Amino acid sequence: MFVLLLFAMASVGMVFTLYLYIKRHVSLRETIIRALDIVTIAVPPALPAAMTVATVYAQNRLKRANIFCISPHRINVGGKLKLVCFDKTGTLTEEGLDLWGILPVHNRFFMAPVGDPTQLPARSPLLVSMATCHTLTTVDGKLVGDPVDLSMFRATKWDIEEPGAASNRYDVLTP
């Protein structure tokens, strides 16, 4: 709102400058440069101050709702979020991580929760992504990696096969 007010004031100044310079028969190039100069003078210097005031105001509103933000600069980013997912890895209650279930999406809407990913169709994009989009690897025959990835992959009941010297195709080059 504040930036809009600044833009309105700059527009009035720009129109007034255009009027004066045209009335005085100043060249078109000089008239346009001076008119646009008004906008660049009015808006940019006040923009950081306006953002700071808006952030402080937003932080106070969040505080009244018992939401405490330790990084006020992130408030502006938070305003753009449409979905937030939390990953609780049992750090407060227990070791390990268990997959509760998954929420398939159909036509941009969540469907009923599925407790066992193997109930999904064998080649469903969700099941395939759970089985392939991870950072897991095998070390000494043991599957290792991020705990979330491990839990997700194990729930699919798929097997991981890493290329070895005998099975790797070294002739295939990718860009």
Is 159 catalytic? The answer is no
Q: Is 122 helix (H, G, I), strand (E, B) or coil?
A: coil
Of 87, 98, 140, 171, the catalytic one is: 87
DSSP string, the chain: -HHHHHHHHHHHHHHHHHHHHHHTT--HHHHHHHHHHHHHHHSGGGHHHHHHHHHHHHHHHHHHTT---S-GGGHHHHTT-S-------STTT-SS-----B--EETTEE---BS-GGGS-TT-HHHHHHHHSS--EEETTEEES-HHHHHHHHHHT-------TTT--TT----
Q: Which residues are catalytic?
A: 87
